[in-house]
Amino acid sequence: MGSEVSEARKAAAIKAMEYLGRARVVGLGTGSTVEVFLRLASGRLMDRVVVASSTDTALLASQLGLRVLDPSTVDRVDLYVDSADEVDLLGRMVKGGGAAMTMEKVLASAADLRVFVVDELKVVPRVPHARPIPVEVLPQAISFVRRRLGELGYSVSVRVSQGKRGPVVTDLGGVVLDVTPPRDADLVEVARTLRSIPGVVEHGLFVDLVDVLVIGRLSGSVETVTFRR
C-alpha cells in the first residue's frame, strides 16, 4: 500500500472521529482502515464501550486498553464505524474481505448512525465492480449452495486460507464463498437470491446501511457524502 493511500485513509479516519459525539456504545468493523481509526481514536474511546465485529478487532481494542463488550450483550449501538472493499456513490457496498461481514451487518443494522471510511480507490462506478461478493455459508451446506448458485448463473469459488490448508473459516464457524452474479444483475434481486438459499448465513452486499461515507482523497483532502434513510 502506497504512502498516498495510507495518508488518505488516515485523513478520512480523523474526519470520522468527529462523529463520535456523545456515543457511548461504539461498534467497529474489521480491516486495515478500521485499525487506523481505532488506533487514532483510542484515547477518545477510553470512557466508552466498544462492540467488535470480529476477534481481530476485539483483540486490538483490548490491547489498546478499551472496554470491549460481546455483541450478544448489546441490542443497539450508538455509532458504527467501518470501511468497505468497494462502494459506489449510491451507498451500496461490497464487504467481507476480512470474512466478518455477518457481524458487521448485524452491528450496522443495530446502529443509530453508520459511518464508513474509505480511500478514494475503494469508490467504484457501481458495485460489484472488480470484487466478488463474499457469502458466508454453513460448512455442511457448501456443496448445495455452490450448485444452486451455479444453476442461477453465478460464478462461485471457495475462499482458501493463506495460513492453513482448506477454506477460510469465519469467527462464527462458516466458510466463505466468493460469488460473482450475472452481468448487470439487479442488486436488490441479487441480495434477495443470496438470502433465500438454505445454508447461506449472510452475504457481503450492503445496501441502505450507510449514513455517512467519508472518502480520503489521494490529494490529502476529505469528502463527506451523507445519505438519507
Q: What is the pLDDT of residues 16-72, one digit of tens each?
A: 999 999 999 999 999 999 999 999 999 999 999 999 999 999 999 999 999 999 999
Do 3-125+207-226 and 133-204 show the same overall fold?
no
- Break the chain into its structural domains and give their ranges: 3-125+207-226, 133-204
- Alpha-carbon distance values, 212 to 1, 95, 146, 219 (Å): 25, 16, 35, 21
The whole-number pLDDT of residue 84 equals 97
C-alpha cell at 37: 481509526
Tell me whether residue 7 is one of the annotated catalytic residues.
no
Q: Distance (Å, rounded) from C-alpha 214 to C-alpha 19?
A: 11
Q: What is the per-residue pLDDT across 176-226, written as a single tens digit (0 to 9) for each?
A: 999 999 988 999 999 999 999 999 999 999 999 999 999 999 999 999 999
**Under a CB-based contact definition with an 8 Å cutoff, are residues 99 and 47 in contact?**
no
Write the CATH number of the domain with boundaries 133-204. 3.30.70.260
Confidence class for position 1, pLDDT limits 50, 70, 90: low
Active-site hit among 35, 104, 120, 202? 104
Query: What is the fold of 3-125+207-226?
Result: Rossmann fold (3.40.50)
Asked whether residue 229 carries a pLDDT value surpassing 90, the answer given is no
